[in-house]
Each structure stands twice: as C-alpha cells, then as structure tokens.
Chains A and B, each alone.
Chain A
Amino acid sequence: MSAGVLVIVPAHNEEESLPVTLGEIRRGAPECDVLVVDDGSTDDTGAVARAAGVRVLRHAINLGVGGALATGFRWALTRGYRVAVQLDADGQHDPADLARVTAPVLAGTCDVAIGSRYVGPSGYHSTAARRAGMVLFSAVVELMLGQRITDTTSGYRAYSRRVMEAFQYDVPVDFPDAPFLIALARRGFRLEEVPVTMRARRAGRSFYTLGKQLYYPYKNLLASLMARFQRPA
C-alpha cells in the first residue's frame, strides 16, 4: 500500500484469463495492491484469484461492472487507498500502462483519468458498427460535458478518493461508460484522457451479445440524457 493505489479487477467467469492478468499486474506494477471482485461467477474465478494470492470480494448475484466498481470503491475507502483503478480481467487493459493512468489522479490534476485508445498510439482495431457507436456516444458526451472524450467506453480508468466517496454505494449503470462520465462531470469531477494500448481479449466472451447490441445503445442514450437532468442520487 506504499503508493496507495488499488487495482480493482471486476471478474465475471474469467477463470481462464484472470491468472495471466494478475501475473502481469504483479510484474508490471508490483507497488499496486489488487482486489478481484468476483461478480457472481459460476466458474472458478474466485478460487483462481485466491490461488494467485489476491483479495477477493464475491457478489452473490451478478451486478455488472458498475456494481463491482462500487464494491471495490467501498473496500478501497475503508483501507485508505488514494487511487482506485479499474482494470479488466480479460486482458484488454495492459498493466504496463497502470503508472500512466494513475499519474494524473495521484498528482491531483484530475479526479478521473481515462485510458483512451484514441489519444496517441494504439494497437486497437474494432468493427465498423462499434466505431460508429463510439463516435455517437463521444458526440453525446461532448454535447453534455462541453469536453471531448474520445474513448467513452474505455473501462481502464483511475478514480480519486472523492469519486470513490460519491459512488461507493452504487455505480447505477451496467457498463460504467457514457452515462457514468456525464454523472461524474455533473458532480464537478475533472476528467482527463491518457493514451493507452488496448489489446484483444484473451478469453471469455464480450459483454456485447446480440440482444445487448440492440438494447445497449438505447439504454445508454437514455441514461446519458437522464444523467444530465437527474438529481445526484
């Protein structure tokens, strides 16, 4: 806990890729503590994480990434961490970038640092449909925030203690992206993007199944619009 950085790894049925990710974090950022939030997995995710020697919090029911983040926030607050970073278990987020993502929050220049694949060099390639969606939500977010966020769906983010305090009881979204960014900005938190490299997922399936591909844009758009007008809960 020397640097006061907690890496929160939300994991839902990630027994295959989790050990690799945890190993990479240990090698790439040995100064960081790691917390795995086993989000209602039906496989051996929890056991695999324990075997790797990290702390595991288990959700009895799958709550989604937002819920896992909130649990991580509360745990980080009670243990006195200065910064919490979300890092996905599937290997898309490179632990080698951890220092870069946490630096602006540790320095106090922003409350949320977003690891973005569109700022600077990146190894990320995506489908046309997904790129179109990203452009759309980037435009929506810019309209709402008056600030350009190129990578609204990036989950690779570092959060300050103030953010953790505000969202420790729940991050009320399944995927903490566009609506969450707007909710953050509404509370006056400063957002900043830092360049990172996104990799292809190692194992497991993407959250974006066919049904969700239809439902997700609707829900996200509505939630984004509502986040602008809702009272902070």
Chain B
Amino acid sequence: MTLAVEAAGLRLRYGDVTALDDLSFTLPGGRIYGLLGRNGSGKTSLLSVLAGFRKASGGRALIDGQPVFENPRNTRRVCLIRETGDTGDKDEKVREALYTASRLRVGWDGDYADALIERFQIPRGKKLGQLSLGQRSALGMIFGLAARAPVTLLDECHLGMDAPSRAAFSDELLADFMAHPRTIVISTHLIDELSPLFEEVLIIDQGRLVLQDETESLRARGADVTGPAEAVDRFVAGRTVLRERRLGRTKSAMVYGGLDERHRRQARDAGLDLGPVALQDLFVHLTQPSGGAR
C-alpha cells in the first residue's frame, strides 16, 4: 500500500518571517515527486512540516488522511533525510548510527543498508563528523533508502556528491522504488539531471505553490520561438512570454503554455523555428522576482 501526502492551507511562520504561505496540494501515493524552489523558497520548511518535525502555524499536513505532527502512527511511516543527514551526533560512529536506525525504523532493511555501505565505501568505524561532505550525503541517502519508509522525503541529499555517486544513487533509488513502491519527495537544485526521475514536479516560491504538474507535461508546455523579429512578435502576441532575446534581426522568445499542433503548424508556416525548452530554463523564469506565468 502506498500513502498519499496532502497539504491543506499550510502556513508556517518564524517570528516575522512567513516560510509557508497557504500551501495546498495533494500527492497521490506511490510516485516520485520533485520539489523545486530557489534558496529560501520554503522547501526545507515544507518537508519539515510534512515529516512532523515542525508544527504548522496554520492549515494541515496529512499523510494517509491523518495529521502528522505528534501522531506516532504517521511519524513512524515518514522518513525525512536532510541535506548531509542530521543522521546523528558528530561523535557517533557510522556503525552506531546504522544500529540506531535499525532499531528506530520499522521497515529497515539491514542487508540492503550493508550492501549500500559497501558499494559507496563508507567507513563504518569513522565518526560522522569525520566523513567528507560527499560521504555524509551518501550516508544520508543510504538511511533514506534502507528505511523503506512509506513516505520518504529527501531534502538536498545529493549535496557534495560527485557525478558518478549521484548517478549510482539515481540507479539505486529507481531500482528500490520499483521493487518497493512508495511515496518519495526529492528536493534539489539539480533540475535537469534529476528531473527524469520525477513523475511529477512541484515548484514553490516564497512559500507558495507556483505549480504542480507531470514532469513531461511541464516540459511540453514551454517552447522557444525563433525567427525574424517581426514574425516572432506577431506569433507571441497575447501569449505568456518568459524571456526574449535578440541577436541582430533574429529574435527568440520563450513562450509558456497554450501551444497545440495547430499553433505549431502556424509557426512553421510563418518560417519560425519552434524548439523545446529545458525544464531548468522554465524553472528559472517561473521563479523570478518579477513573476512569470503564475
């Protein structure tokens, strides 16, 4: 069974700062979600509330329709791994941290954890504080995967990992997700690298939800229109334009949404080039201070 995660009018304030501002969404269970947002957009606050680490100032965070905060039934079923894993105190050895996790985590798979520790060559005898940034991140990811929690929240877990490790963890994550389907939310800044793993993407900005969509649909929503400036202007008139660039008489405009086959044909007939847009480019322009296609 997989568990749905829901936020309903979620608010979180620290003093004067509003970290989460009336955030609402539903995440059906058994999927991998990407949580994208700029620094300070509220990703970590959101995941902390969803995991029951923090109490919301307003609204509700639900797992399987039940509150999370101070609800042992749900706090047992959710696992949040933060950045380089606040996986224990710095003087604790890897071996001890693994033991603790095995005692605390209901679904803990010790053999799997051991295999990952081997694969990523994490020294068991070292203290957590002595591990490199990449090793700490890898260890965090190992805790997150081996816990097999029905709701797994990974906050910036790829921090400091080198490219081969990230690729290896993507493989592990996918394989383990397919073998043991569960609800996984991954926050990251590595948008183009990790987005193929996400079935859906949530973008938040200033504590608000900018959009939630299937990754593939979102990718298809953007298009770069390139051609003679006047023809481009005519074509994009009345559309949401996220960015314009000009080089001599040629102009390129990134449009968002509302392009169907007919429009695409029109563009081609007008001598315009229609190119796809990378998710990261869409993200950049949807989260700019001026605000794009909100």
Q: Do these two chains really belong together in a complex?
A: no
